[in-house]
Amino acid sequence: MPDRPYLSPSVHIFIHEHIDSVYGNYIYNIIRVLKSSAARFEKTNAKFLVSNKPMAATKLFVLFLLLIISVSTALATVSYDHQAIIINGRRRILISGSIHYPRSTPEMWPDLVSKAKDGGLDVIQTYVFWNGHEPSPGKYYFEDRYDLVKFIKIVQQQGLYVHLRIGPYICGEWNFGGFPVWLKYVPGVEFRTDNEPFKANMQRFTEKIVSLIKAEKLFETQGGPIIMSQIENEYGPVQWEIGAPGKSYIYWAAKMAVGLNTGVPWIMCKQEDVPEPMIDTCNGFYCEGFWPKKNYKPKMWTEAWTAWYTEFGGAVPYRPVEDLAYAVARFIQNGGSFINYYMYHGGTNFGRTAGGPFIATSYDYDAPIDEYGLLRQPKWGHLRDLHKAIKMCEPALVSGDPVVTKIGDNQESFVYKSASGACSAAFLANYDPKYRVHIKFGSVYYDLPAWSVSILPDCKTAVFNTAQVSAPTTHPKMTPITGALAWESYKEETASAYGDDTVTMNGLLEQVNFTRDSTDYLWYLTDITIKPGDLQDGRSPFLTIMSAGHTLHVFLNGELAGSSYGTLDDPRVTFKQNVNLNVGINKLSLLSAAVGLPNVGVHFEKRNAGVLGPVTLSGLTSGTWDMSKWKWSYKVGLKGEDLSLHSVTGSSSVEWVEGSSLVQKQPLTWYKVTFNAPPGTDPLALDMGTMGKGQMWVNGQHIGRHYPAYKARGGCDTCNYAGMYSEKKCNYNCGQASQRWYHVPRSWLRSSGNLLVVFEEWGGDPSGISLVSRS
């Protein structure tokens, strides 16, 4: 008999003592859908039935009548057992895909969800983005790309379910892991541990989201589409590192979440020590070997990684669809009942939302629907065919566990049987990464390519094999659609230590503590006074600057002396260079630029950026000067940011130059141009291949950071789908810009007179920028 649903002991005793086992099994199956009404049933009905002691048949009739009445008053139920998530009494094999609402525009959402549905998805999964919804304490934002309710209702209109990952820590390669930076400055706060200031803020935001969802009646038990929620995210490694405080915190988080009474199950991913009643789930490239710690919980895969994210300075990863389909089929054949593609549509890290540091603006993720909303073929089509085959097996998959038989050296069969013992559905797996095999199953021989799974919904006909792709292949093109653009330029001045908007202090300060992440930029300013006897004849002093990251531009007397930058793995920066100093006062101006705040790890409150030192000047007649404790002045952000040069009104506040006076290939330069929107509906992008590093805006909307000057390191070898996949296995763009094209949503454009503004840090050639269409 299937695992019994949780009910109070008196109800179990009543069924056991007053109804025979055959009818009892039917009763349990019906009660399974009435868990939310169990207490009411026990109080009002069980006592009456026991005291009156009617005939068995009458009891059965009355009990069924009461259950039917309960069903009619309950909108819906979501529960689970060992086999699957149970929605309104029906076990389901659920195919899900991640689409993050802030990474696309509201105008894109209906088409994205429609394509996901056509691809065979049942569920859309999304994080909730705390720093987008509460940019300052108690000030909430749920509009435009952050209109969470609108997004969920669009999913509901398409007839799909929602898995809401509230977190509120999300990782997700999102700035600061989704945490608002102001949280770092709450007195006494320590992130993601048994810390009262952190827990109080986490609970307050979680309650805010749940209350919003309940008010809109969006949980499944209210008639809405949300069938599951998630609290915290991938906490297992953190708990292992910090020990007992981590365990106390995660148990508190579970109790807090359950106490919100959402009526739907809660999950925790990558959390081995999972508190009850949380469902522990798997994230990874492969999860067929994962099992929840408790046998009465379903086997779920919350993040099946469709590839990997792109970092500035790294090649672009992709994952062959044959391997992804193989991983999913292996998970399903081995008892898995929920699988979510992370990502199904990756989208774009607009503005300064990318984390890392050095996470690219594109979050394409080699997903079945690409960054621009177009189908990526054959990935989308092959997975759609896989989903059809899995759904053909659904009745068998949710009815019992498979019988596993070794049918070759590296081959197995997974057979799901009916109550009579007959074969209902079968999976034939070839784990060999090199060799195709010819295998006998039953009385029929089957051809299994290397590293593949065949699906037989009737135990006879192989309707799908993961390595045999029949979906068409498309090759997206980027086509320039604008001619030469009439650019204008404005030169950003290096900040002055004596400006009214500077703060002067002794010593070096951490960058984010000063900027509060209101900008990527912080100026560090000081004077170096050189006397005639300080310089050695014919030798330039040697300047050394140590920074916690992420990029550093060094200016001496207003001229760029050099730049240094870190990487995703090591964002620290070391600048070492001989510099030319004049006798007298030399102005040293350091522009430190962040490239996204960290999104993963422990102790977010202790993460650093900016010039922390030491800063030394060596090669002088008097030896080495340590400048770290000198008097330094600080200027937050750029003058162009203060003037809002990216906006229509702000851009008219300064004098721009054009034509032969246009500044080119110079650092710290603003560029602007107006253009008309091209006809048609094809998605649009900016080709920024001739630029260095900076940011872009169109009509005041922040497209994101550009960084074409950071070329992809590493080798891009030929990639075979067979064999274990990792993010380093299959890549392209080696030796080229990690990201050349940047998505410009059509909904951000007017028919004419669109303002495009680019800030360039390093120096580039704006004449090479063009608007392109993707098709």
DSSP state letters, 16-58: HHHS-HHHHHHHHHHHGGGGGGHHHHIIIIIHHHHHH---HHH
**Tally of CA atoms within 13 A in the half-sphere of 267 that contains its CB:** 29
Closest to 703 (Cα-Cα) out of 711, 694, 691, 712 = 694
Q: What is the predicted pLDDT for the residue at 71? A: 44
Mention every residue, 6+ apart, whose C-beta is less than 8 A from residue 663: 489, 491, 657, 669
Q: Which domains does the chain have, with CATH numbers?
A: 9-74 (no CATH), 92-376 (3.20.20.80), 401-466 (no CATH), 478-490+642-774 (2.60.120.260), 495-637 (2.60.120.260)
Neighbour tally for 8: CB within 10 Å: 14
Which strands, in side-by-side order, build the sheet including 542-547? 573-578, 542-547, 611-620, 623-626
Partners of 673 in the beta sheet? Answer: 756
What residues contact 355, with CB distance under 8 A and at least 6 apart? Answer: 172, 173, 174, 175, 176, 177, 596, 597, 598, 599, 600
Above 80 in pLDDT, residue 48?
A: no
- Taking the C-alpha atoms of residue 400 and residue 1, their distance in angstroms, rounded to an integer, is 10
Task: Give the three-state DSSP class for 183.
Answer: helix
Residues with Cβ within 8 Å of residue 627, at least 6 apart in sequence: 526, 528, 614, 615, 616, 617
At 638-653, the pLDDT tens digits run 999 999 999 999 999 9
φ/ψ (deg, to 5) at 387: -65, -40
What residue ranges in 410-492 does DSSP mark as E strands?
411-417, 423-430, 437-441, 444-448, 452-456, 464-465, 478-480, 488-491
Q: Give the count of beta carbons closer than 10 Å to the beta carbon of residue 363.
A: 26
Give the pTM. 0.90
Taking the C-alpha atoms of residue 397 and residue 496, their distance in angstroms, rounded to an integer, is: 69
| Positive or negative torsion for Cα 509, 512, 516, 518 | positive
Reported as a single tens digit per residue, the pLDDT across 403-452 is: 999 999 999 999 999 888 889 999 999 999 999 999 999 999 999 999 99
Band of the pLDDT at 15, cuts 50, 70, 90?
Answer: very low
Class of residue 690 by CB neighbours under 10 A (exposed 0-12, middle 13-18, buried 19+): middle
Q: Which residues carry out catalysis?
A: 234, 303
| Whole-angstrom distance, CA of residue 520 vs CA of residue 543 | 24
pLDDT tens figures, 735-749:
999 999 999 999 999
Between 194 and 33, name the one with better pLDDT.
194
pLDDT tier for residue 195 given thresholds of 50, 70 and 90: very high
pLDDT at 605: 95
**77: number of Cβ within 10 Å:** 22
Task: Report the phi/psi class of residue 170: left, alpha or beta, with left for phi > 0 and alpha for psi in -120 to 50.
Answer: alpha
Is a pLDDT exceeding 80 seen at residue 572? Answer: yes
- Reported as type and span, the H/E element at residue 317 is strand 316-317
The Cα–Cα gap between 519 and 160 comes to 39
Answer yes or no: is pLDDT of 469 > 50.
Answer: yes
> For 720, how many CA atoms within 13 A lie in the half-sphere containing its CB?
7
Q: What is the DSSP string of 233-289?
A: -S-HHHHHHH-HHHHHHHHHHHHHHHTT--SS-EEEES-SSPPTTPEEEEEES--TT
Q: What pLDDT score was predicted for residue 75? A: 57
* Residue recorded with tokens 């069980």: 46
Contacts (Cβ under 8 Å, ≥6 apart) of 227:
78, 85, 87, 123, 161, 162, 163, 220, 264, 265
- Kindly report, residue by residue over 84-96, the tens digit of the pLDDT: 999 999 999 999 9
Percentage of the residues of the chain whose pLDDT score is greater than 70: 90
Residue 369 has pLDDT above 90, yes or no: yes
**pLDDT band, very low/low/confident/very high, at 630 (cuts 50, 70, 90):** very high
Query: Closest by alpha carbon to 551, among 514, 518, 521, 579?
Result: 521
Residue from 480, 406, 433 nearest 768 by CA: 480
| Helix pair 148-157, 196-215: axis angle to 10 deg | 40
Amino acid identity for residue 746 in this structure: R
Query: In the structure, what pLDDT confidence band is assigned to residue 59 with cuts at 50, 70 and 90?
Result: low
* Distance, CA of 40 to CA of 47 (rounded, Å): 11
The span from the CA of 499 to the CA of 642, in Å, is 14
Could you tell me if 148 and 205 are in contact, meaning their C-beta atoms sit under 8 angstroms apart?
Answer: no
Question: Is the C-alpha dihedral spanning 184, 186, 189, 194 positive or negative?
Answer: negative
Alpha-carbon 333 to chain mean position: 27
Reported as a pLDDT band with limits 50, 70 and 90, residue 500 is confident
